[in-house]
């Protein structure tokens, strides 16, 4: 039996890149897939039905089952329709992979309100919207006596964890998704739902051109590495894995550990007495991610 045989999945942003890899990998291992994509540019401009349709055609060509959804995952109404389409077409929903995203990179002082809002909306609101409507289905099933074995797999980013400059909007959204995943893992456990997040280190149209990569690095940045982990997490075998954030690429799957307590400075109600102890505590604590560049840059 295939790893996710008969399970029903929604993948947002599935027309290209990571989303396409997720959809194809899930289908290869037996899942029925709702392939969602607006077909917009990497900056979120325009629409095109063909990328999602092409993925559906690929899945059907290899003997799988899939349907196109052209809705906007960041629309609360469209997200509900996406979940309803899965239920109406395939009779159930087991897996949600929230992958839709765009880039509008700019230094914060030059960033427009629209550039901030669009990136946060596409990444963070779409993750909430689809998860919300799916979770309501699973909660209803659980309360009716049929406990789901369901999965939400979200897409965070290294930028959210390690803070690339020029990506304040993107990093804020992706860090939010990591925290959202941990919180909802706790909330949905009672309904038979696991929630995890992936931080892919992959070469897609959103990351092409950022720098030159060696052939080895390109191979280890193929989206299929991340899709393989997502498909495993979507399987019944991963029912006890929840609330985790994974850094993913061909060099390995690393568990990202959450914020940790550093040193503590003595508290004081007098601001004049705070500085000396605070500076000592800061000196005894690890620097924030990204400030020690040599500790996290790619090999």
Q: Which of 170, 181, 191, 235 is catalytic?
A: 170
Instruction: Give the distance, in angstroms, between the CA of residue 271 and the centroid of all CA atoms in the same chain.
Output: 41
- Please tell me which residue in 125, 126, 174, 242 is annotated as part of the active site: 174
Annotated catalytic, 170? yes
Active site residue 286: no
Q: 80 catalytic, yes or no? A: no
Distance CA 281, CA 283 (A): 5
Matching residue, tokens 């209803």: 140
Selecting among 129, 157, 159, 242, the annotated active-site residue is: 157
Query: What amino acid positions are annotated as catalytic residues?
Result: 157, 170, 174
């Amino acid at each position: 039996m295939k790893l996710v045989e008969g399970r029903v999945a929604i993948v947002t942003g599935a027309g290209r890149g990571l989303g396409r890899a997720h959809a194809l990998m899930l289908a290869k291992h037996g899942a029925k897939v709702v392939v969602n994509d607006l077909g917009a540019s990497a900056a979120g401009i325009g629409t095109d039905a063909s990328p999602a349709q092409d993925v559906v055609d690929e899945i059907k060509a290899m003997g799988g089952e899939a349907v196109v959804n052209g809705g906007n995952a960041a629309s609360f109404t469209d997200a509900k329709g996406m979940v309803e389409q899965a239920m109406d077409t395939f009779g159930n929903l087991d897996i949600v992979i929230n992958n839709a995203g765009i880039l509008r990179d700019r230094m914060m002082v030059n960033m427009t309100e629209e550039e901030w809002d669009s990136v946060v909306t596409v990444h963070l609101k779409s993750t909430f919207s689809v998860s919300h409507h799916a979770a309501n289905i699973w909660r209803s099933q659980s309360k009716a006596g049929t406990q789901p074995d369901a999965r939400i797999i979200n897409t965070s980013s290294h930028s959210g964890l390690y803070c690339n400059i020029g990506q304040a909007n993107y990093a804020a959204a992706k860090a939010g998704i990591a925290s959202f995943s941990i919180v909802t893992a706790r909330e949905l456990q009672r309904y038979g739902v696991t929630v995890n997040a992936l931080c892919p280190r992959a070469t897609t149209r959103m990351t092409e051109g950022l720098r030159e990569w060696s052939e080895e690095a390109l191979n280890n940045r193929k989206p299929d590495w991340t899709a393989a982990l997502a498909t495993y997490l979507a399987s019944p075998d991963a029912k006890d894995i929840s609330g985790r954030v994974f850094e993913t690429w061909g060099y390995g799957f690393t568990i990202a550990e959450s914020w940790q307590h550093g040193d503590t400075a003595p508290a004081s109600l007098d601001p004049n007495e705070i500085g000396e102890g605070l500076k000592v505590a800061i000196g005894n604590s690890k620097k924030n991610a990204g400030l020690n560049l040599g500790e996290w840059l790619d090999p």
